Amino acid sequence: MNTPLRLHYAPDNASLCVRLALEMLQAPYEAVLVDRSKGEHASAAYLAMNPNGLIPTLETPDGALFETAAILLWLSEREGKLFPAPGTPQRGAGLKWLFWLANELHAAERVLFYSERLISADHVGELDRSVHLQIRSHLHLLDNAAPDWLGEETILGCYLAPLLRWPVIYGNNPGWLSLADYPNLLAFARRFEATEASRRSAEAEGLGAKPFSEPQYPNPPEGSPL
């Protein structure tokens, strides 16, 4: 790849999934901080690339891309790595789990992290309890299914690892979830964080030595996760 990509990121945001894939692919890229504490994700310049005002955005020779799953799939197909190729028997299974991660687990976690923006303050606790049940159900499903499809060096792994991290430390009730209840997912988290891609990404964003198996609140060298 001759043209460097530009990843617009905030530490410990969904851009982490993309950073992990870029590091795993050893693709040249520039990380461009979007400082959420200064509202840069809502600036005119950022909205011109990503009208949703969400993170991440990846600038590419094909234009600016947004939506985490779409970026991951684009990267894998451009490099021909980290995901089953079109026409292979494994392609269908890969696609269904990629979109499941985006539409089910990630979507549920967004409700948890931003529940106070979605419902009146009097009902936030009720919504949180409901989402806790939903996320636990999703993780139990994954814990049973994971041995059939999940590996460390795939875009599915790059997507899932942060999704295992975030609900443990963010939301209105950090600490409500323990990965020890999901042994297959915990084993995956330990394998994944031992990869060089994970180590480089964790160092860049201040995630600590065990960012996925024993998540701690980040200490990023720049920017803010919230």
* Tens of pLDDT, residues 124-158: 778 888 999 999 999 999 999 877 777 789 999 99
How is residue 180 written in tokens?
A: 């020890």
Within a domain: 72? no
Q: b/e map of 145-176 (b: 16 or more CB within 10 Å)?
A: ebeeebebbbbbbbbbbbbbbbbbebbeeeee
pLDDT at 113: 86
CATH code of the domain covering residue 172? 1.20.1050.10
Within a domain: 177? yes
Residue 117 has pLDDT above 80, yes or no: no
93-98 long-range Cβ contacts below 8 angstroms, 24+ apart:
93/148, 93/149, 94/149, 94/154, 94/156, 97/145, 97/149, 97/156, 98/69, 98/72, 98/73, 98/155, 98/156, 98/159
Within a domain: 156? yes
For the entire predicted model, the pTM comes to 0.95
pLDDT at 151: 79
- Look over the chain and give the mean of its residue pLDDT values, rounded to a whole number: 93
What are the beta bridge partners of residue 7? 31, 58
Residue type, 202: A
Residue 2 has pLDDT above 70, yes or no: no
> Are the CB atoms for 220 and 35 separated by under 8 Å?
no
Which residues constitute the domain of residue 144? Answer: 91-195
Within a domain: 10? no
Domain total of the chain: 1
Within a domain: 95? yes
pLDDT at 3: 62
Give tens-digit pLDDT for 5-48. 999 999 999 999 999 999 999 999 999 999 999 999 999 999 99
Within a domain: 38? no
> In a 10 Å sphere around its CB, with 0-12 CB exposed, 13-18 middle and 19+ buried, how is residue 136 labelled?
middle
Instruction: Please give the angle made by the CA atoms of 203, 204 and 208, to the nearest 5 degrees.
Output: 35
Within a domain: 119? yes
- d(Cα 75, Cα 178) in Å, to the nearest integer? 32
pLDDT at 160: 97
- Block residue for tokens 């790849």: 1
Within a domain: 162? yes
